[in-house]
Amino acid sequence: MRNLIHLKDLGSDGLAEVIEQAMAWKRSAPGAHLRDVLLGMLFFNPSLRTRASFEAAMVRGGGQAMVLEAGKGAWAMEHRDGVVMDGSRPEHVREAAPVLSRYVDLLAVRSFAGLEDDAVDEADAVIRAFGEHAEVPVISMESAREHLCQGLADVLTLREKFGTTRNLPVTLTWAPHIKPLPKAVPNSFLLSAAAAGCDIRVAHPPGFDLPPSVVAEAEDLAAATGGSVSLGNDQAAAVEGSRAVYAKAWGPTLPVVPASDGATGASDHAPDPAAMIQAHPDWRVDSDLLSQSAADACLLHCLPVRRDLEVSAELLDSPVSAVVDQAENRFHVQRVLLERALEFNHPHRSVA
């Protein structure tokens, strides 16, 4: 059985195939290609676009979606092995995943990062547990490490805007927020853009590095596709000449290590992550910043976006904003992912 959780589950060739199919189906709807298919959707965290786009894809494809919220209408769930379950989680994934598998044809799971330790989040324990114990294909609706669907929608948007992604200069820039946010979206844009052959520049303040394993994976993908990856702390330099500027807030490298005072060794007081974020309001993406990019540059953001904090309202409301197109494209790439998940396990299945 094959799951669709990380970009590695597709690879650069699979990404290209998904984009081509999504573009073709966007021009001519595939019809009831999901007739009699039931998708189980399990949410550990809130959603708007993800839930709506997956439900729309199922209904418009002739299938149905069943929505469950862990800890709210469904039992809170434990994913760790070897623990005595004497806390607030009465259900274990070892039972929940196979039970749900007996009811549905596909299972989709959304579980955010814990935001305490990057290494723990990179391990992606919750969704990996479902992938291991489910008896039907598992699709990620965002996990602690990646947001596969968003990354695919981002590449589809670039293809539509510019015709090709080969050596397309694009910028992923950190943006201010009120609190630390997961790295799944920036991780996935970096990986997907690299797999699509983009020349991707990543800019962020010191202390907000993306995980080394993700960067290394992106560099390998870029080397294979003819693209490139560059990292730095100069936002203006990263944006110069770029054809697309992706604004996204994310939290600092975790755990935050106490700073050394140079005399008595490490301080007992680590910086506050929220204070680290709020120390960089000048990283907001606005028209002045975008004026340094290419003349035909577009603005990207995964949404939801905090207006005039992450991105200026003026820019979001301008013709260069492609954020609604990105959101629409979630629907189109997810239709393809649903079909691929079924094809992986039923190779003779044909599209209606």
Would you say residue 351 lies in a domain?
no
Contacts of 107 (CB under 8 A, 6+ apart): 39, 40, 42, 97, 100, 101, 130, 134, 136, 137, 138, 139
- For residues 216 and 203, state if they share a domain: yes
The parent domain of residue 244 ranges over 150-326
pLDDT in tens, 191-243: 999 999 999 999 999 999 999 999 999 999 999 999 999 999 999 999 999 99
- For residues 116 and 167, state if they share a domain: no
Q: What angle do CA 331, 332, 338 make, to 5 degrees?
A: 85
Contacts of 238 (CB under 8 A, 6+ apart): 171, 173, 201, 202, 203, 230, 232
Q: What angle do CA 314, 320, 322 make, to 5 degrees?
A: 105
Give percent of the chain with pLDDT exceeding 90. 89
Answer for the pair 182, 113: CB distance below 8 angstroms, yes or no. yes
- For residues 28 and 172, state if they share a domain: no
Would you say residue 350 lies in a domain?
no
Does pLDDT of 299 surpass 90?
yes
pLDDT in tens, 53-95: 999 999 999 999 999 999 998 888 999 999 999 999 999 999 9
Quote the strand ranges of the chain, DSSP E: 38-43, 64-69, 77-78, 91-92, 106-110, 138-140, 169-174, 199-203, 228-232, 244-248, 298-300
Q: Output the pTM of the full model.
A: 0.94
CATH of the domain at 160: 3.40.50.1370
